[in-house]
Amino acid sequence: MARFLALTLLLAVLFVIFRFAMGLRYAKRERERARQAEVERGRRVIAEVPRSETEVVFLTEDDRVLAWGGTEVSKAKIVGARLLVNGAVLRECARRPGTLPLPSAPEEYEGRERWEVALFLEGGTEARIPCGSLREGVSREIAGRAFEAARAAVGAPAVVVPEREVPR
- CA angle at 24 for the pair 23 and 28, rounded to the nearest 5°: 115
CB contact set of 146 (below 8 Å; sequence gap of 6+): 46, 47, 59, 117, 129, 131
Ranges of each domain in the chain: 1-40, 43-163
- Which SS3 state, helix, strand or coil, does residue 18 take? helix
Query: What is the pLDDT, as a whole number, of residue 95?
Result: 87
Query: What is the pLDDT, as a whole number, of residue 167?
Result: 46
Closest CA to 113 of 91, 138, 92, 93: 138
Contact assessment for residue 38 and residue 59, using Cβ atoms and an 8 Å cutoff: no
First to last CA, the chain: 70
Contact assessment for residue 142 and residue 47, using Cβ atoms and an 8 Å cutoff: yes
Report pTM: 0.75
Q: What is the pLDDT of residues 44-64, one digit of tens each?
A: 898 888 777 677 888 899 889
Query: What is the pLDDT, as a whole number, of residue 163?
Result: 54
- Can you name the residues that pair with 120 across neighbouring β-strands? 80, 126
